[in-house]
Amino acid sequence: MQDRPAAASARGWIVEFMLLAAIWGSSFLFMRLGAVEFGPLPTAAVRVGVAAAFLLPLVWVRGLGPQLRRHWKPVFLIGVFNSGIPFACFAFAVLSITTGLSAILNATVPLFGAVIAWIWLKDRPTHSRVLGLVIGFAGVALLAWDKASFKPDASGVAPAWAVLACLLATVCYGWSANAAKRYLGGMPALVTATGSQIGALLVLVLPGLWYWPERTPSLQAWLSLLVVGVVCTGVAYVLYFHLIEHAGPARALAVTFVVPVFAMFYGVLFLDEAVTGWMLLCGGVIVCGTALSTGLLKLRGGVREVDAVK
């Protein structure tokens, strides 16, 4: 039986987990609204620029500036792989494939993260968590199989390139989560989140300016990137790095299994997208895989046990 501090800790990371999934589920919608007018690289640059501008004053107010200056090299480098490259890849992808499919492909992050942790950090997952990864990935694969199309779109770009861009982004996420756990352990989440956005901005600012659109983007496009920068990046990454520190990279990465469920919900609510029974079935499989891969649901001796939160 868990003591009260442990139970409170468990409830805390579960709440953060679901909140992060809900926020990141909306990021694909806002990113598409911005990328259509800004283009992929400017979209990614504006996103990290807005996030950095939002987070940096909070770092100074809380007196965390010295920590950021002391550890800027690993924080900035991880930011390139955890924000810079993935944001550009997904901004490119949503121009050719649906936001729902992009979110589904994003759900492969825990698979890559677990493999990288196993090879690099010698962090061998338990049998129940391996099973959870397999089940979650199976749900993702089934849903992607139903939705993916590799026919060239109106722009002449084959969606296959968008799919590969999403997978490149997920590999970067998997590596950076493990790198953050290894090199940034004990660092405040606010410092890590802020530094990562600054690092990403440094590599994206020049390409973003080079490919800046000739036509001035609409107010809707600007507001979309403002939301994706402040909420879906600034606030979300504080939650994300806090999860890595207190729940571990495996559980933090598993949030991507739940993101597609929220992304589909937002699609129905705001874009009038249809949700089929097959999509709901696959979403249920993904959620079950997430519960196993995070340790919330365990299998012992053939009997299913749910971790008690009392």
pLDDT score for 100: 78
Per-residue pLDDT tens digits for 283-301: 778 778 777 776 666 766 5
pLDDT score for 302: 46
pLDDT score for 295: 67
pLDDT score for 102: 82
pLDDT score for 91: 94
* 303 beta partners: 300
Directed axis angle between helix 159-183 and helix 85-93, to 10°? 160
Low-confidence ranges of the chain (pLDDT < 70): 1-12, 144, 146-157, 271, 273-275, 294-297, 299-310
Per-residue pLDDT tens digits for 71-85: 899 999 999 999 999
pLDDT score for 304: 45
Distance CA 235, CA 173 (A): 17
The half-sphere exposure of 152 on its side-chain side, counting CA atoms within 13 A, is 4
pLDDT score for 141: 79
pLDDT score for 156: 57
pLDDT score for 305: 42
pLDDT score for 309: 35
